[in-house]
Amino acid sequence: MVNATVLARYEHFSPSKGSPLPFEAIGKLTGIAPVDEAEDALQRIGTMARFGRDTTIFNEGDPVQFCYKIVSGAVRRCKHTVNGRRQISDFLLAGDCFGFLQFGRYNCTAEAIRDAVVIAYPQIQVERLTRTMPGMGHRLVVLMSERLTSMQDHLVRLGHQAAKERVASFLLLLCERLGAKEGECFDIPMNRQDMADYLGLTVETVCRALSELKRTKRIAAPSPQEVIINNLDALRTVVDNED
Amino acid sequence: MVNATVLARYEHFSPSKGSPLPFEAIGKLTGIAPVDEAEDALQRIGTMARFGRDTTIFNEGDPVQFCYKIVSGAVRRCKHTVNGRRQISDFLLAGDCFGFLQFGRYNCTAEAIRDAVVIAYPQIQVERLTRTMPGMGHRLVVLMSERLTSMQDHLVRLGHQAAKERVASFLLLLCERLGAKEGECFDIPMNRQDMADYLGLTVETVCRALSELKRTKRIAAPSPQEVIINNLDALRTVVDNED
DNA sequence: CGGATGGTTGATGCGTTTCAACAGAGGTGG
DNA sequence: CCACCTCTGTTGAAACGCATCAACCATCCG
């Protein structure tokens, strides 16, 4: 049953509808060549898949079948609470991996924020690689460790920062992640509701915080989905005024 | 310099003042015998140390020198923000490990909540064990994975739950962790400030939430440090009313 | 053109923080 | 041994920030 669900998802796959592409195709798509042995080994077991906006990649509690790497698009990891609310634990963009080092069942839900192309690695084969290739395990642990660090930072955000500070902090994070420079325009890949569910706020509060930042000239916004950070240090000042 | 600090800490060590005990002593103290090869190997490289209440075990950013396991007492993992506030990411009790799988530098600060006896494992030797013993790496990864899961749950708490719900949720967590049954009295190992810094609240709000839970007979409190959960399900109801 | 969707702004109420006062436990020194 | 102090926990009153509810605008699409 679970298998059927997963296979059904592959129908979203666009480049060659219905049948997952072998990994080789990625090289052409992304222009990225495997840099080392571990990466090369992973490549060989990966197949591409495409998930439409707001579709579920896997649910919390599902048996682990695949691990993923994002080629393009964006994904949110989240938990749904009993009363329909949602806490997003993090956002994933091109190049990010998820679903690795989960034991038995996924510990959170993964959903596409916008159309996303991912590479799916069968978990069983990843595990085999981890056992046989010395570098692989370590690499995954480092990945996990980084995630833990970023979640700790997020705890600080949710525990001790005011709305404006959370939004400012989020913009800085996004800016860095996207490699945008001061004064450079970049796209916000998620909508206001996603931002709100990540920051533990309401859509309205996120809007007001953004408006406030615009009013005070710390940021500019050509469109609702685009932002320019006029002065990185000015934004950092907002974040640090946590009290 | 860093070495000197760490060595100085060992002076707190009480059973044989000044010189760290070889691990064998633990067997007698805790009555726990090594259950398998990995555990046994760890035992041989561990030395005991004692940290007084509110002392620092290591600071965020310190180079990783030791990994720890708690024999008795309690420890908090936390981050200190620029303006003196503190976010506690989790509490650790007897049997819990921390400081493992950190790369280069600790990603958070660890402090003793109350007098704590720990076993310190030199990081270099732990790493060697991880490379040579097949079971060790996997065990550490599982540990890390559990931590990630619990931090995700905590994100939900901080992001979407009201004060009463957070406190109720915290009590349930503590109760389970300590293995206390419904109607059984158990000790709260940390003070109100620690609880507040963990839950992203103020001391006063934590107090009020506790008083409210007492008033409604969901819990009883023989002393400020002791709690009895009269009805687990009643408390769970409080937690789930997240909206 | 009409309806749906996502984003923004305004007014109001509620919950948490803040500030303040006080109570009880534990420790110290006269 | 008691007076005194400190530290932690508790409760009250007022201020403030965010959520809520509601209206409105812009864009997109049928």
Kindly report, residue by residue over A33-58, the tens digit of the pLDDT: 555 777 888 888 999 999 999 999 99
B32 contacts: CB under 8 Å, gap ≥ 6: B26
pLDDT at B134: 76
pLDDT at A18: 32
The 8-class DSSP code of residue B62 comes to S
A148 contacts in B (CB within 8 Å)? Answer: 107, 144, 147-148, 151
Question: In the structure, what pLDDT confidence band is assigned to residue B183 with cuts at 50, 70 and 90?
Answer: very high
| A152-177 per-position pLDDT tens digit | 999 999 999 999 999 999 999 999 99
Report CA(B202)–C1'(C9) in Å, whole number: 31
B14 interfacial to chain A (CB closer than 8 Å): no
Q: How does the average pLDDT of chain A come out, rounded? A: 86
Question: In the structure, what pLDDT confidence band is assigned to residue B42 with cuts at 50, 70 and 90?
Answer: confident
- 3-class DSSP assignment, residue A183: coil
Spatial contact of B70 and B63, defined as CB atoms under 8 Å apart:
no
Residue B119 has pLDDT above 90, yes or no: yes
A82 contacts in B (CB within 8 Å)? Answer: 240, 242
- The number of beta carbons lying within 10 Å of the beta carbon of residue A66 is 23
Least trusted range by pLDDT, from A57-61, A148-152, B20-24, B104-108: B20-24
Q: Angle at Cα B51 formed by Cα B47 and Cα B52, nearest 5°?
A: 155
Look at the alpha carbons of B118, B123, B127, B132 in this order and tell me if their dihedral is positive or negative: negative
Mean pLDDT confidence for B176-189:
95
Q: For residues B162 and B153, what is the distance between their CA atoms, to the nearest angstrom?
A: 14
Tokens of A39: 């990466």
Q: Name residue A37's beta-bridge partners.
A: none
Q: How does the average pLDDT of chain B come out, rounded? A: 86
What pTM value is reported for the model? 0.87
Kindly state the helix (H) or strand (E) to which residue A139 belongs, with its residue range: helix A134-160
pLDDT at B35: 57
Contacts with A, B 171-230, CB within 8 Å: 197, 199-200
Q: For residues A64 and B152, what is the distance between their CA atoms, to the nearest angstrom?
A: 18
Q: For residues B229 and B186, what is the distance between their CA atoms, to the nearest angstrom?
A: 9
Q: How far from chain centre, in Å, is Cα A155?
A: 17
Residue A30 has pLDDT above 60, yes or no: no
A107 contacts in B (CB within 8 Å)? Answer: 145, 148-149, 152
Look at the alpha carbons of B42, B45, B49, B51 in this order and tell me if their dihedral is positive or negative: negative
The 8-class DSSP code of residue B10 comes to G
Q: Name the residue among B83, B147, B149 with its Cβ closest to that of A243.
A: B83
Least trusted range by pLDDT, from A119-128, A179-188, B188-197, B233-242: B233-242
Residue B178 has pLDDT above 70, yes or no: yes
A223 contacts: CB under 8 Å, gap ≥ 6: none
A111 contacts: CB under 8 Å, gap ≥ 6: A54, A55, A56, A57, A75, A76, A78
Pairing of the two strands B109-122 and B56-58: antiparallel
Q: For residues B31 and B131, what is the distance between their CA atoms, to the nearest angstrom?
A: 29
Residue A96 has pLDDT above 90, yes or no: yes
Report CA(B222)–C1'(C25) in Å, whole number: 14
